[in-house]
C-alpha cells in the first residue's frame, strides 16, 4: 500500500517546525508536539495534509514514571484519495503537573468536544477555549479526577457527598 515516497516523510517535512521528537513502536508513529502549537499543528494537519478524522483524544498520567507528568494523546486518521490510503499518526503533548492546560482542538474537529470533556473529567486537564467545559461522566459537583494515578480509590468521601446532595435535592 505504501508507495515509494514514504507518506510520513512528507508529513514530517510539513510539520517539522512543530515536532519535538519522534518515536515508533509496532509500526505506529508518534510525534511529540509542543503544547503552545497544538492547534496550529492540528489545523495544518487537517487542512493541508488531509487528516480530517480525529480518532481519539486521551491522556496518560505518568505521575513518577516520567517528567512532565501528563501526556495528552491525539490520534489522527487520513482517509486519502478514494478512502484508500488510511494513514494514522499520533501526536503527544507533555503537560506540567501544576495546573495542566492546553488549547482545545474543537475549532479544528468538532468531534473533540466530548473526548476533551472526558479528558477533563478524568484527569483535570483544562482545555482552553472549549465550548462546553463541563464534566461528562462523573456528577457535575464531583471534585476529584479519578483516572489520575494519585487518586485514592478507597476514599469514598467525595462520591458520598455527591450522593447525599443528590438525595437531598430529590427530597425537596
Binding region for other proteins (CB under 8 A): 25-26, 28, 30, 52-56, 58, 60-61, 65, 73, 75, 79, 83, 86, 88, 90, 109-115, 118, 122, 135-139, 146-147, 151, 153
Residue 107 Cβ, how far from other proteins at the closest point, in Å?
Answer: 11
Among residues 36 and 157, whose Cβ is nearest to other proteins? 157
DSSP assignment, residue 137?
S
Among residues 19 and 60, whose Cβ is nearest to other proteins? 60
d(CA 8, CA 170): 56
Among residues 13 and 169, whose Cβ is nearest to other proteins? 169
d(CA 135, CA 49): 32
d(CA 35, CA 102): 6
Give the max Cα distance, the chain: 70
Among residues 4 and 170, whose Cβ is nearest to other proteins? 170
d(CA 158, CA 43): 39
Question: What grid cell was written down for 84?
Answer: 484508500
Among residues 34 and 146, whose Cβ is nearest to other proteins? 146
Residue 147 Cβ, how far from other proteins at the closest point, in Å?
Answer: 6
Residue 33 Cβ, how far from other proteins at the closest point, in Å?
Answer: 16
Residue 146 Cβ, how far from other proteins at the closest point, in Å?
Answer: 6
Contact assessment for residue 103 and residue 127, using Cβ atoms and an 8 Å cutoff: yes
Strand partners, 72: 59, 93
Strand partners, 61: 70
Residue 37 Cβ, how far from other proteins at the closest point, in Å?
Answer: 22
Amino acid at each position: 500500500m505504501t508507495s515509494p515516497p514514504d507518506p510520513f516523510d512528507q508529513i514530517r517535512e510539513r510539520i517539522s517546525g512543530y515536532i519535538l521528537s519522534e518515536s515508533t513502536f509496532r509500526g505506529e508513529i508518534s510525534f511529540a508536539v509542543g503544547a503552545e502549537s497544538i492547534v496550529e499543528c492540528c489545523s495544518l494537519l487537517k487542512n493541508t495534509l488531509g487528516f480530517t478524522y480525529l480518532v481519539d483524544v486521551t491522556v496518560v498520567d505518568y505521575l513518577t514514571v516520567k517528567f512532565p507528568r501528563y501526556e495528552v494523546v491525539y490520534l489522527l486518521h487520513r482517509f486519502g484519495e478514494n478512502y484508500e490510503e488510511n494513514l494514522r499518526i499520533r501526536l503527544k503533548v507533555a503537560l506540567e503537573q501544576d495546573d495542566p492546560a492546553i488549547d482545545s482542538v474543537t475549532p479544528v474537529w468538532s468531534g473533540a468536544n466530548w473526548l476533551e470533556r472526558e479528558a477533563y473529567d478524568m484527569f483535570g486537564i483544562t482545555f482552553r477555549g472549549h465550548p462546553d467545559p463541563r464534566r461528562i461522566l462523573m456528577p457535575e459537583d464531583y471534585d476529584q479526577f479519578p483516572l489520575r494515578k494519585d487518586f485514592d480509590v478507597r476514599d469514598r468521601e467525595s462520591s458520598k457527598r455527591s450522593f447525599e446532595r443528590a438525595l437531598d435535592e430529590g427530597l425537596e
